[in-house]
């Protein structure tokens, strides 16, 4: 089970865990935290799924949005994404194809609470390689 924070397009957040996340599917199942209620989530309602280390995160920590040197990262495809709601995300996108339903971003800051983020294409206003 992986800890996730689901950002819905309507601005609401859901915290819980997933055992399998199908980026090519149309729905996924989330066990909501606290408790153990299982919900079916329609990806059409989702902005992004943040795979996190801890639900609480690190209050007060300011995550770096700059990219360190590429040596040793094993990842390429540095991108800056502006979401429809104005939020800006940066990260490494190892695989990107125009027209896909979404993409995975890996944060450039190794101390980030996010391990990776799945961002739905329908939530993206602008994507640029940097």
70-117: pLDDT as tens digits: 544 445 689 999 999 999 999 999 887 778 899 999 999 988 999 999
Q: What are the boundaries of each domain within the chain?
A: 2-53+74-129
**Cα–Cα–Cα angle for 111, 127, 102, nearest 5°?**
80
Retrieve residue 57's tokens: 């995160």
pLDDT in tens, 47-76: 999 999 998 887 888 888 777 665 444 456
pTM for the model = 0.88
Give residue 113's Cα distance to chain centre: 11
């Amino acid at each position: 089970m992986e800890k996730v924070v689901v950002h819905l397009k309507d601005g609401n957040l859901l915290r819980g865990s997933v055992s399998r996340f199908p980026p090519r599917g149309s729905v996924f199942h989330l066990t909501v935290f606290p408790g153990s209620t299982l919900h079916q989530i329609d990806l059409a309602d989702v902005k992004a799924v943040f795979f996190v280390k801890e639900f609480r995160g690190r209050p007060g920590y300011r995550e770096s949005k700059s990219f360190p040197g590429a040596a040793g990262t094993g990842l390429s495809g540095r991108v800056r994404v502006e979401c429809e709601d104005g939020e800006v995300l940066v990260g490494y996108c190892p695989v990107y194809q125009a027209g896909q339903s979404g993409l995975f971003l890996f944060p450039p800051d190794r101390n980030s609470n996010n391990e990776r983020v799945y961002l739905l294409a329908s939530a993206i206003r602008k994507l640029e390689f940097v």
